[in-house]
């Protein structure tokens, strides 16, 4: 050691570790978008958007939500609940899910032609004259291509080009074909030769790319498919081998047209996982119809935002943005009895009873087969997910530290301070962390494994409030002054 003479300073790690902030309700949404309208045309790539404009610029926009389901979620999450951010994953591939139109006759009017077909791939457009020996017109010399407000392609002739006003031309092009999408595209997988991920497998790329932990997995228009719903639940329980989220799934309203049929379909389709939230029916606002999962994701995030982004409160009995409920295009009106029947079978629904249309239901898909409070109640399940995710992120920095008393006390003290803070603000009724000798056997400690026992009690939602009324004859004495 070098000779020292004087005053020296050294540092050691703080004994209390502040918790990492985890967004409880971040939705990761899988589906299709009119990416032909964008330059990058993202396919099977997570796209992070904080605003509606950013989402439209990255993925395109269409009012035809049956074809382009991600646009429905954009409208619901940004437009109806004003929440952000969202991670979108488009699986509609312009290189694979396409159809062709050949030699379609059009006539220029006011120097323009509108192709009545969303999803036109501009790189494939060919405009020819209708002469006996057709002449192929040149892009940006004879005409330009653009989009109108509805996402349709507009061909505009250039006045200094070879196309005359009122001329009839023959147009050929390829366009996106959302009908070619299959369940396999949404479920996705890993390419054995390239290692590239697709579909729901991409949930594992969200945190490494954006440092955001998924909180909700949504696939509007697809989640009623049994393979999709099962994969969503599996992925929700094992994100990056460390995180958990919820999977919001819908029942198919074209086959479930009566509330009494919903529980049988739920059970037949095995929508019984504690990480699934099962929704029925669809909901409507004006002329727009939404899958309930799209709006429930927004309502859940809004409820979290109202409570410091801590998911201890249920979205139930909070307002959807809707004016009617729909099943197979017919209106559905449920009273409290019918809605409670659905809730009792682990299904979230919509109820117009007091205070307008509201989400109604606190149960996960596991209920009623599973009654363990942490798995049966939606807000408690979400709190367990959130607490687990927070502990993972907070103490990841301590991985590979030497196992000694300082490490153990730092973890125990830091976690307990955090839990005490949650309890003081009544986000939980109480919580503590213990390092128990009985749970840390010698062979585990020798192998570098330490276990901490977390006890926590999030509050249950007040799903039933009872008043007992009794006639009390003693008050008759007031008649005599």
Tell me: do 107 and 152 sit in the same domain: yes
* Helices and strands, counts by H and E, the chain: 12, 22
Q: According to the model, what pLDDT value does residue 428 have?
A: 98
Secondary structure class of 419 (helix, strand, coil): helix
Query: How would residue 7 be classed by pLDDT, with cut points 50, 70 and 90?
Result: low
User: What are the tokens at 64?
Assistant: 């035809």
Q: Residue 300 domain-assigned?
A: yes
CA atoms of 19 and 396, how far apart (whole Å): 11
Q: Which residue has the higher pLDDT, 15 or 31?
A: 31
In the block, tokens 């607490």 appear at 387
Tell me: do 157 and 209 sit in the same domain: no
Q: Are 311 and 24 in contact (CB under 8 A)?
A: yes
pLDDT digits (tens, 9 = 90+) for 333-365: 999 999 999 999 999 999 999 999 999 999 999
CA atoms of 295 and 299, how far apart (whole Å): 6
Q: Residue 27: pLDDT above 90?
A: yes
Query: How would residue 16 be classed by pLDDT, with cut points 50, 70 and 90?
Result: low
Q: According to the model, what pLDDT value does residue 8 have?
A: 62
CA atoms of 423 and 412, how far apart (whole Å): 16
Q: Which of 130, 129, 133, 132 is nearest to 161 (CA)?
A: 129
CA atoms of 129 and 137, how far apart (whole Å): 7
Q: Which helix (H) or strand (E) holds 185?
A: helix 183-187
Q: According to the model, what pLDDT value does residue 3 have?
A: 73
Q: Residue 20: pLDDT above 60?
A: no
β-strand partners of 453: 434
Q: Which of 140, 163, 216, 156 is nearest to 382 (CA)?
A: 216
**How confident is the model over 81-94, as a mean pLDDT?**
96
Q: Residue 395 domain-assigned?
A: no
Query: How would residue 24 be classed by pLDDT, with cut points 50, 70 and 90?
Result: confident
Domain range enclosing 113:
98-176
Q: According to the model, what pLDDT value does residue 2 have?
A: 67
Tell me: do 366 and 412 sit in the same domain: no
CA atoms of 54 and 64, how far apart (whole Å): 19
Q: Residue 21: pLDDT above 80?
A: no
- DSSP-assigned letters across all residues of 238-254: -BTTTB--EEEEE--TT
Q: Residue 8 domain-assigned?
A: no
Contacts with 41 (C-beta within 8 Å, 6 or more apart), sequence order:
35, 94
Tell me: do 198 and 249 sit in the same domain: yes
By percentage, how much of the chain surpasses pLDDT 70?
96
Residue 250: C-alpha distances to residues 18, 263, 412 (Å) = 38, 12, 41
pTM: 0.93
Q: Residue 9: pLDDT above 70?
A: no
Tell me: do 89 and 213 sit in the same domain: yes
Tell me: do 78 and 225 sit in the same domain: yes
Mean pLDDT of the chain: 94
Q: According to the model, what pLDDT value does residue 23 have?
A: 75
Tell me: do 85 and 190 sit in the same domain: yes
Tell me: do 149 and 191 sit in the same domain: no
Q: Are 53 and 424 in contact (CB under 8 A)?
A: no
- DSSP-assigned letters across all residues of 288-313: EEE-HHHHHHHHHHHHHHTTTT-TTS
**How confident is the model over 105-113, as a mean pLDDT?**
94
Q: According to the model, what pLDDT value does residue 149 have?
A: 85
Q: Which helix (H) or strand (E) holds 171?
A: strand 168-176
For residue 362, the domain's CATH number is 3.40.50
Q: Residue 147: pLDDT above 80?
A: yes
Q: Residue 368: is the preceding peptide bond cis (ω within 30°)?
A: yes
pLDDT digits (tens, 9 = 90+) for 410-460: 999 999 999 999 999 999 999 999 999 999 999 999 999 999 999 999 999
Query: How would residue 5 be classed by pLDDT, with cut points 50, 70 and 90?
Result: low
Q: Are 217 and 181 in contact (CB under 8 A)?
A: no
Q: Are 263 and 307 in contact (CB under 8 A)?
A: no
Tell me: do 294 and 351 sit in the same domain: yes
CA atoms of 459 and 380, how far apart (whole Å): 7
Q: Residue 57 domain-assigned?
A: yes
Q: Residue 281: is the preceding peptide bond cis (ω within 30°)?
A: yes
Q: Are 130 and 170 in contact (CB under 8 A)?
A: yes
Q: Residue 7 domain-assigned?
A: no
Tell me: do 194 and 291 sit in the same domain: yes
Q: Residue 11 domain-assigned?
A: no
Q: Which helix (H) or strand (E) holds 443?
A: helix 442-446
Q: Residue 196 domain-assigned?
A: yes
Specify the pairing of strand 27-31 against strand 216-218.
Answer: parallel
Dihedral (Cα; 461, 29, 189, 120), 10-degree rounding: 160
Q: Residue 392 domain-assigned?
A: no
Q: How many structural domains is the chain composed of?
A: 3
pLDDT digits (tens, 9 = 90+) for 165-220: 999 999 999 999 999 999 999 999 999 999 999 999 999 999 999 999 999 999 99
User: What are the tokens at 474?
Assistant: 């003693």
Query: How would residue 155 be classed by pLDDT, with cut points 50, 70 and 90?
Result: very high
pLDDT digits (tens, 9 = 90+) for 293-329: 999 999 999 999 999 999 999 999 999 999 999 999 9
Tell me: do 65 and 144 sit in the same domain: no
Q: Residue 287: pLDDT above 80?
A: yes
Tell me: do 199 and 139 sit in the same domain: no
Residue 291: C-alpha distances to residues 200, 279, 350 (Å) = 19, 9, 12
């Amino acid at each position: 050691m070098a000779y020292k003479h004087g005053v020296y300073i050294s540092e050691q790690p703080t004994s209390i570790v502040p918790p990492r902030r985890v967004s409880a309700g971040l939705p990761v949404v899988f589906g299709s978008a009119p990416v032909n309208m964008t330059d990058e045309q993202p396919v099977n790539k997570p796209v992070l958007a904080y605003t509606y404009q950013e989402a439209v610029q990255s993925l395109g926009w269409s009012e035809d939500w049956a074809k382009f389901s991600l646009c429905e979620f954009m409208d619901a999450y940004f437009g109806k609940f004003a929440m952000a951010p969202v991670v979108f994953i488009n699986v509609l591939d312009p290189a694979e899910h396409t159809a062709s139109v050949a030699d379609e006759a059009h006539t220029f009017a006011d120097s323009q032609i509108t192709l009545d077909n969303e999803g036109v791939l501009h790189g494939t457009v060919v405009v020819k004259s209708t002469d006996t020996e057709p002449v192929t017109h040149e892009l940006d010399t004879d005409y330009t291509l653009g989009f109108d407000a509805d996402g349709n392609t507009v061909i505009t002739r250039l006045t200094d080009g070879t196309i005359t006003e009122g001329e009839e031309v023959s147009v050929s092009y390829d366009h996106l074909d959302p009908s070619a999408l299959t369940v396999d595209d949404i479920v996705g997988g890993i390419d054995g030769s390239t290692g590239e991920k697709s579909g729901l497998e991409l949930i594992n790329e969200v945190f490494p790319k954006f440092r955001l932990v998924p909180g909700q997995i949504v696939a509007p228009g697809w989640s009623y498919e049994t393979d999709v719903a099962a994969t969503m639940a599996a992925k929700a329980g094992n994100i990056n081998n460390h995180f958990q989220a919820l999977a919001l799934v819908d029942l198919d309203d074209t086959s479930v047209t009566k509330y009494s049929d919903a529980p049988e379909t739920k059970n037949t389709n095995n929508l019984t996982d504690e990480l699934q939230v099962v929704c029925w029916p669809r909901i409507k606002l004006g002329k727009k119809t939404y899958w309930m999962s799209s709006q429930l994701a927004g309502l859940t995030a809004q409820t979290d935002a109202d409570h410091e982004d801590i998911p201890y409160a249920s979205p139930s009995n909070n307002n959807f943005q809707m004016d009617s409920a729909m099943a197979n295009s017919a209106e559905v009106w449920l009273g409290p009895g019918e809605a409670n029947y659905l809730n009792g079978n682990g299904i979230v629904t919509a109820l117009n009873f007091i205070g307008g249309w509201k989400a109604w239901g606190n149960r996960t898909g596991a209920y009623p087969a599973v009654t363990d409070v942490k798995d049966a109640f939606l807000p408690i399940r979400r709190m367990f997910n959130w607490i687990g995710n927070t502990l993972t992120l907070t103490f990841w920095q301590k991985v590979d530290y030497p196992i000694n008393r300082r490490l153990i006390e730092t973890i125990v003290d830091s976690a307990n301070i955090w839990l005490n803070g949650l309890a003081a603000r009544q986000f939980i009724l109480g919580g503590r962390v213990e390092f128990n000798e009985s749970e840390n056997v010698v062979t585990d400690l020798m192998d570098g494994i330490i276990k901490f026992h977390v006890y926590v009690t999030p509050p249950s939602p007040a799903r039933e409030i009872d008043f007992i009324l009794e006639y009390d004859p003693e008050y008759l004495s007031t008649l005599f002054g």
